[in-house]
Amino acid sequence: MLTLAVQKSGRLNEQTEKLLKDCGISFIHGRNDKLKAIASNFPLQILYLRDDDIPECIADAAADIGIVGENVYVEKGKSLKISKRLGFAKCRLAIAIPKQMVYKDIKDLNGLSIATSYPNILKKFSDKKGLKVSIHQISGSVEIAPGVGMADAIFDIVSTGSTLISNGLKEVETVMNSEAVLLIHPKLNKEKEAILEKLNFRISAVKKARNYKYILLNTPNDKIDEICQILPGMKSPTIMPIALENWSSLHSVIREDDFWQSIEKLKNAGAQGILIIPIEKMII
Ligand code: PRT
Ligand code: ZN
């Protein structure tokens, strides 16, 4: 049995549950136990915690693995391993200052007081850059600190940037990018390693499927080569004759990122009846 620590409630919670569900893992919650659940079809038990406690819980071997934002993992400084980057809860940790403040380069941060919930990451960054700043650790509502005179600047999580704008701040230095990661205890026994391998296999299949779409289209036969050039696919596309003379149906996969660009090229090359379908799992 492998024990996985996840966030009890918050920004990671919904996507973590979805990931496990897409991996085909279902849970039975104890009647009065909101902190633990056991999978009914996989050797996995879940512990529900605050995200800040997850790295320590794994370091202490109370859990074997956990899902947490990389920002929290790096801040806590525990010697664990990242087994997988999960591609959700993407954000960055950045320094922001009042928008009217003149900013030419990083030296302009010298002498400022900076409010943050991530003092360790900020200290490492300022030491590396040779900055002299005073760090004020606060646990929430960091973005209001300059407005109420608690600090000159902030160092906080930014996603869309709208919180900064609505608090009259501008982002001046990005210190790190973050996403949810699967953390593991560096020393798992053989049995747990084997379960982790199975879990990672499923997560990879789900992640790959999320990055790709299945594409079907009709093409004149004399355009098949041109269209195949646009769609490198997994190996080679499937091509089948259709009732319309000199036309074929072509099936392949396409990267989500290349999607719109390729559609334009396909239409220009003569493809018709293009269908794009989500893929549930992908094993290659
Ligand atoms: O209760 P618990 O301690 O478990 O949760 P929490 O309140 O500490 O964390 P939570 O649930 O807010 O966030 C969990 C993780 O989600 C973070 O550690 C990040 O890894 C990730 N994440 C992704 C974010 C955001 N995006 C995000 N936008 N965490 C917080 N924010 C906040 C940010 O603090 C700021 O107030 O959203 C605001 C900025 O958002 P934008 O879109 O206006 O820029
Ligand atoms: Zn937290």
The verdict on residue 283 lying in a domain is: no
The verdict on residue 193 lying in a domain is: yes
pLDDT tens for 113-122 read: 999 999 999 9
The verdict on residue 204 lying in a domain is: yes
pLDDT at 233: 66
> Which protein residues have their CB within 5 A of the ion that is ligand 2?
51-52
Q: Within its chain, how far is the Cα of 229 from the centroid?
A: 31
Statement to judge: residues 201 and 242 lie in one domain: no
Q: Ligand 1 pocket, 161 CB below 6 A?
A: yes
Q: Within its chain, how far is the Cα of 123 from the centroid?
A: 25
CATH number at residue 42: 3.40.190.10
Domain with 170, as residue range(s), is 91-178
89 C-alpha vs ligand 1 centroid, how far in Å?
Answer: 8
Statement to judge: residues 157 and 257 lie in one domain: no
Statement to judge: residues 171 and 198 lie in one domain: no
Measured between alpha carbons, how far is residue 250 from residues 74, 209, 220, 243 in Å? 46, 19, 10, 14
Measuring from atom 17 of ligand 1, which residue has the nearest CA?
A: 69
Q: Is 229 exposed, middle or buried (0-12, 13-18, 19+ CB in 10 A)?
A: exposed
Q: Which of 209, 225, 253 is the last residue of a domain?
A: 209
pLDDT at 31 over 70: no
Statement to judge: residues 52 and 153 lie in one domain: no
- Give the pLDDT band (50/70/90) at residue 234: low
Statement to judge: residues 138 and 162 lie in one domain: yes
52 C-alpha vs ligand 2 centroid, how far in Å?
Answer: 5
Q: Which atom of ligand 1 is nearest to the CA of 162?
A: 43
Residue type, 47: L
Q: Ligand 1 pocket, 178 CB below 6 A?
A: yes
Statement to judge: residues 58 and 96 lie in one domain: no
Measuring from atom 31 of ligand 1, which residue has the nearest CA?
A: 157
The verdict on residue 284 lying in a domain is: no
Statement to judge: residues 143 and 70 lie in one domain: no
Q: Ligand 1 pocket, 166 CB below 6 A?
A: no
Statement to judge: residues 140 and 36 lie in one domain: no
CATH number at residue 270: 3.30.70.120
Q: Which of 178, 194, 229 is the last residue of a domain?
A: 178
- Give the pLDDT band (50/70/90) at residue 166: very high
End-to-end alpha carbon distance in the chain: 27
What is the number of the ligand closest to the CA of 156? Answer: 1
pLDDT tens for 70-96 read: 999 999 999 999 999 999 999 999 999
Average confidence (pLDDT) over 227-233 = 83
Average confidence (pLDDT) over 208-235 = 89
User: Rounded to the nearest 5°, which phi and psi values hold at 240?
Assistant: -130, 140
12 C-alpha vs ligand 2 centroid, how far in Å?
Answer: 10
11 C-alpha vs ligand 1 centroid, how far in Å?
Answer: 6
Measuring from atom 28 of ligand 1, which residue has the nearest CA?
A: 159
pLDDT tens for 34-77 read: 799 999 999 999 999 999 999 999 999 999 999 999 999 999 99
Could you give the number of structural domains in the chain? 3
pLDDT at 29: 76
Q: Ligand 1 pocket, 69 CB below 6 A?
A: yes
Statement to judge: residues 82 and 151 lie in one domain: no
154 C-alpha vs ligand 2 centroid, how far in Å?
Answer: 17
Answer yes or no: are the C-beta atoms of 156 and 94 closer than 8 Å: yes
Statement to judge: residues 59 and 113 lie in one domain: no
Residues of the chain with pLDDT > 70, as a percent, come to: 98
Measuring from atom 39 of ligand 1, which residue has the nearest CA?
A: 158
Q: Tokens 């279902």 — which residue?
A: 26
Answer yes or no: are the C-beta atoms of 142 and 95 closer than 8 Å: no
Q: Ligand 1 pocket, 52 CB below 6 A?
A: yes
Indicate the range of 142-151, 217-226, 254-263 predicted with least confidence: 254-263
